[in-house]
Chain A
Amino acid sequence: MSLLPKSRKARRRLMVVATAAPIVVASAALAFYALGNSVSFFYSPVQARSAHVPTGRTIELGGLVAKGSVVKQPDGSITFVVADHAATDKVVYRGDLPDLFREGQGVVTKGAFRPDGDFEASEVLAKHDERYMPREVTRALKASGEWRGDGAQAAASKPTGTGA
């Protein structure tokens, strides 16, 4: 018992620290372990090309949905082209598209590249707000010089306008 501090207050503090320390260490270890398996990186098509994303790795691919590229295939899947200034990727998606999905607008898809080079999406992110632009898409478009500015974006995304 000689190792323990003498005052009851100090002993109580030691007890609290001795309980808290393993919890903190365990949860930190758990967090970093779990993070390694659930982080997915975001790329625009040209970034994905230059980063040589291996097939099968789950990533997020984002950009603008190319005009006229959305095709409903007879097998029930949907294909569309995600584009930035320099590259395009064909995306295959089997689910129901989000209600706010439009040609010419920003989109973020989650999935992996197939060996044939197409991107198989398991998720197409929907936004509540049609004026909302995913931050990564904004940044990628700005980086590629394709950004049309907030005003242009808002006007483009509301085809019916306000005075109609």
Chain B
Amino acid sequence: MTAELGSFALILAFALSIAQVALSAGGRLRGSAALTGAGEGAAVGAFVSIAAAFAALMYAFVTSDFSVANVAANSHTAQPLFYKITGAWGSHEGSMLLWCLALTGYGAVVALTGPGLPWRLKATTVASQGCLGVLFIGYTVFASNPLLRVANPLVEGASLNPLLQDPFFAIHPPFLYSGYVGMSVVFSLGVGALIEGRVDAAWARWVRPWSLVAWSLLTIGITLGSFWSYYVLGWGGWWAWDPVENASFMPWLVATALLHSATVTEKRGAMAAWTVFLALLAFTFSMLGAFLVRSGILTSVHAFALEPKRGILLLDILGIAAGSGFALFAWRAPSLPPGGLFAPISRESALLLNNLFLSAATVAVLFGTLYPLIAQAAFGAAVSVGPPYFNLVFGSLMGAVLLILPIGPLMAWKRGELKGVLQRLWWAALAAVVAGALVFAFHEPRKAFAGAGVALGVWLIGGTLTELAERARLGRTSLSEAGRRLRALPRGAWGMTFAHIGLGVFLLGAAIDGTGKVETAKVMAVGDQVDAGGGYHLSLDQVGQVDGPNYLANRGTLSVTKAGNPICTAAPERRFYPASGQTTSKVALCLRGVSDVYVVFGEQRTGANGQPGWLVRIFWNPWARMIFLGPLLMALGGGISLSDRRLRIGLPRRAAGTRGAASLEPAE
């Protein structure tokens, strides 16, 4: 019964989304506050209905209701409760419902908050969000309903893909989807601004919290996904430039550019049309990602198994939403008022350069991702583009961004002075060069990339700290005065500091891990010993059987020592899931500072001397944890920035009283 109620709620949400569009657009045209208010009510209603449908799906998963096709395909009675719940978004259908939940959730928040938004802009934004809701909920209802029943229910389900039965996988889609779909609000605000013909500092200030929320969640989602791939897939790496990874990375790059260009629009009123363009582009890339992941059009490690029919529908949705957004942009953008002027040497110019390089990097990633399709269409050749392309092109473009990064925040708005800025950065530059040279001289194996990466990372962290010291006037006033100044800094400045330092930390980790990784593989019998990288020494003490809740496993117990001193005990497993007939690896990680000794227990093999043993692979991953720590610092920076008082107050209080009267200007 719950599945039918869920289906009903889903269809109700579809109807409410249509009502949301009609009421908000009608209210805007007629200037009726009652109609737009009803449109906002419909937006909230759509969210409540989708939440009910999602709850019904979760209920079906928790109770193992195998008469629901999606549950039968992705769950199993022996599965732990946690993975029964997360199985709800482990499949294509369930994850689309999660997407709709996030989409309507953001719509409801826009409808319920934002008393500072001018009512016209709010009505068009809610209407635009409703249009996206109609498209995606319609797709879910008509092409991918997860709540459909089967005629002859099975006794037992096929179980969730064992690779997905992992805490990090389980929690990463909600973050990733909230991030992807958070861009929809920015998209709708962009559409609203174009229709109302108003893109100014106030609009940029409304865009900022939404892009910050979406960007931070997307950062966390990508990081969790990367960490999952690092320790579940057992390949020792964390990023492979797989199409699905790129699909999540491109919206992130665009959102990063948007955060920076929106600052220029907010502070100086310049680059307004470009900011709107990025606002539309960010969600377009989110939708493109959804299409690439689900259409199976590109060969990917992560793709869902799917028939092309749905892919074409998703492509249609992408075409309709992005097409109308950009058509509107082409029509209305030329009439936007021009912004403030700035000199070639100024903070605006630095941020413009940042945007140019980030855009070029995004296009490079997009080109590499889609090149197999282009080659197929143009020359009829089946090709794939490997990581060297992405490393070289993306690496060079990002290197350029990172070189100018510490300079930007120290530069004055409108007209800056490069010489003074560089003088203040001399010690950061010195530290960077020294660190790079030391790494180049002593890090094994000797690679130019390691030196360059570390130098850039130190340059970023040093430059960011310099900027902080400058703001506190450290060294030029008393320490207590400097401390007082630091405490008085706006949260937004702290957010930027954390995000830039996080990027530096990530870069240090990527440079050292990328060049210093050591892989050792050996067929080991009990009692065998092996030397791994980093000076670590492993011996296989015992191999035992483990009876898990829904799997059987061989567990190897290895003791890790360094120079004779015991360090830790690693217990990697090789698990067999009878329900799906799949085998997976449970990697053992021995954390040493920020580095990992990474142990994978493989299959049974015959060793070199003819004795049976187990294939054990060991990776020494120096500084690997910094790769994941850095982005979390960046997301933390986003969160701190979001708590900035300037984002919450300073918008006029009279909004509620005079609602529907006139367009409002912010107080600041």
Contact = CB atoms under 8 A, between A and B. Distances in A.
Interface of A: 8-9, 12, 15-16, 19-20, 23-24, 27, 30-31, 33-35, 37-43, 60, 72, 74-76, 95-97, 99-100, 108, 125-136, 139, 150, 158-160, 162-164
B581 A158 contact: yes
B364 to A, nearest CB: 5
Given A39-B383, A42-B383, A130-B582, 13 more contacts: A9-B341, A27-B360, A27-B364, A27-B393, A39-B371, A40-B386, A42-B382, A74-B610, A129-B161, A129-B304, A130-B581, A136-B382, A160-B579
A60 B610 contact: no
Contact of A35 (B357, B371, B523): B371
Interface string B197-239: 0000000000000000000000000000000000001100000
Interface in B482-531: 521, 523
Given A12-B341, A99-B583, A132-B305, A38 B608 contact: no
User: Would you call the interface of chain B mostly helix, strand, loop, or mixed?
Assistant: mixed
9 contacts: A27-B360, A35-B368, A37-B388, A38-B388, A41-B383, A76-B615, A96-B617, A130-B580, A150-B307
B297 interface: yes
B581 A160 contact: yes
B556 interface: no
B301 interface: yes
Contacts, number: 149
A38 B386 contact: yes
A41 B606 contact: no
B389 A35 contact: yes
A42 B375 CA distance: 12
A38 B389 contact: yes
Contacts of A126: 233, 301
A125 B72 contact: no
A39 B296 contact: no
A19 B387 contact: no
B381 interface: yes
By secondary structure, the A interface counts as: mixed
A129 B349 CA distance: 47
Interface in B584-620: 584-585, 600, 602-603, 605-606, 608, 610, 615, 617
Contacts of A33: 392
Nearest to B270: A12
B163 interface: yes
Interface in B613-668: 615, 617
Interface string B71-82: 011000000000
Contacts of B301: 125-128
B434 interface: no
A76 B352 CA distance: 54
B397 interface: yes
Contacts of A96: 234, 521, 600, 602-603, 615, 617
Given A34-B389, A160-B581, A39 B384 contact: yes
A95 B521 contact: yes
Contact of A100 (B157, B356, B397, B582): B582
A128 B154 contact: no
Interface in B463-484: none
A36 B345 CA distance: 37
B368 A31 contact: yes
Nearest to B382: A42
| 8 pairs of A and B residues whose beta carbons are closest in the complex | A42-B382, A131-B305, A38-B389, A38-B388, A38-B386, A27-B360, A34-B392, A132-B305
Contacts of A75: 608
